[in-house]
Amino acid sequence: MITIWKQENRKLVEGTREDGPIWVDARNVTREDIRILETEYGVDTEIIMDILDQDELSRIDREDDYTLIIVRLPIFISANEVSYFTIPLGILLFPDMILTICWADCEVLHDLTNNRVRSLTLNDLPAFVIRVLARADLIFLRYLKEINRRSNSIETELQKSVRNLELIQLLNLEKSLVYFTTSLKSNQLLFEKLMKTRLINLDEEDREWLEDVATDNRQAIEMADIYSNILSGMMDAFASVISNNLSIVMKRLTVISLVLMIPTMITSLFGMNIKLPMGDWNNYNALAVVLGICFASSLVAMILLGDRKKKKQRLDPVERKKLRRRNRAVE
């Protein structure tokens, strides 16, 4: 869908191509939109395909009629398995208009069209581009905080019960952080190129503002790296907890199997072709023998399983406290 925006009373409203400085907003691009962009606006097909490529990195190029800027924007779609990821936005700077192309919709473009960005003007197109970049950094920081809150909530659930659902959710959040880190670093290279080159005409105020945006982008990179390291450590910790729980269960099952082998071994020694030493006893005496064997087996199991409790009692108070904390985390 292609929408043309003009500015009236410092607000963006829908207009036409004859309204002066305009913003041509192409989102959720269809085949018909691609045809219009090629025929009416003179955009090369290869440029459109590059912008619509989900894996396209940030860059800036000078063409004959316009300057192309591709920047990575954050996006949140709750229905997706990985809810937080990034998409490329193509910004084409013409002398009298700015054209943006994006294969999906996102919060950054929503904020621009809903007039949530202050001092947004179409009379200074380079400043308009910087406002888009600044808004992208703001949404990146907001989504990173949301990811951190979600990971803390999932961690609380995992401490109560370790299930596959929470582990998959943590894995998806870790993927989101990887996408964010890669896109933020790509945007950082774009900011450095904008400041070093003269591909777009920036005055002194715009350059200072662009440096502030680059600083916010570096802060977002550091936050993404920190959250990614925390999440990786958390995944490793819960993997160790799962392995520890499995070892405890296997130990108990091994003890039970060893105990059950005792009566099995006794009954195996006396097959049907061998006369039992207690064959002349009545049923009550045989029942007493069976109960005695069961009691002895239970006693052996209690002794073997009670070793762990004795080890706990022999620990000093500091180690006992650490063990209690570890057990609470496991439970």
**Token duo for residue 139:** 């949404």
Name the residue type at position 186.
S
The packing angle between helices 125-160 and 164-196, to 10°, is: 160
Report residue 55: phi and psi, to 5°: -100, 10
DSSP assignments along 59-86, one per residue: EEEE-SS-EEEEEEEEEE-TTSSS-EEE
Note the pTM of the prediction, 2 decimals.
0.75
Average pLDDT over residues 84-98: 90
Q: Name the percent of the chain lying above pLDDT 70.
A: 82
Residue span(s) of the chain under CATH 3.30.460.20 come to 2-240
Q: Are 125 and 93 in contact (CB under 8 A)?
A: yes
Phi-psi region of 60 (alpha: psi -120 to 50; beta: other; left: phi over 0): beta
Q: Helix/strand/coil (H, E, C) string of 232-297? A: HHHHHHHHHHHHHHHHHHHHHHHHHHHHHHHHHHHHHHCCCCCCCCCCCCCHHHHHHHHHHHHHHH
Q: Are 70 and 113 in contact (CB under 8 A)?
A: no
The domain made up of 2-240 has a fold known as Beta Polymerase; domain 2 (3.30.460)
Q: Dihedral (C-alpha) 77, 80, 83, 86: value to the nearest 10 degrees?
A: -70
**pLDDT tens across 188-233, in order?**
999 988 888 777 888 888 888 889 999 999 999 999 999 988 888 8
Name the residue type at position 238.
F
Q: Please name every residue paired with 11 in a beta bridge, in sequence order, or none if there are none.
A: 8
Q: How far apart, in Å, do the first and last CA atoms of the chain sit?
A: 53
Q: Are 72 and 81 in contact (CB under 8 A)?
A: no
Of 76-90, 166-180, 209-223, 302-316, least confident by mean pLDDT is 302-316
Q: Are 103 and 54 in contact (CB under 8 A)?
A: yes
- For residue 140, give the nearest of 214, 45, 61 by alpha carbon: 214
**pLDDT score of 252 more than 90:** no
Q: Report residue 246's pLDDT band, with 50, 70 and 90 as the boundaries.
A: confident
Q: What is the pLDDT of residue 277?
A: 61
Q: What is the pLDDT of residue 169?
A: 85
For residue 166, the tally of other CB atoms under 10 A from its CB is 19
**pLDDT tens across 259-299, in order?**
777 777 766 766 555 666 655 655 566 667 667 777 777 77
Of 80-94, 103-117, 175-189, least confident by mean pLDDT is 103-117
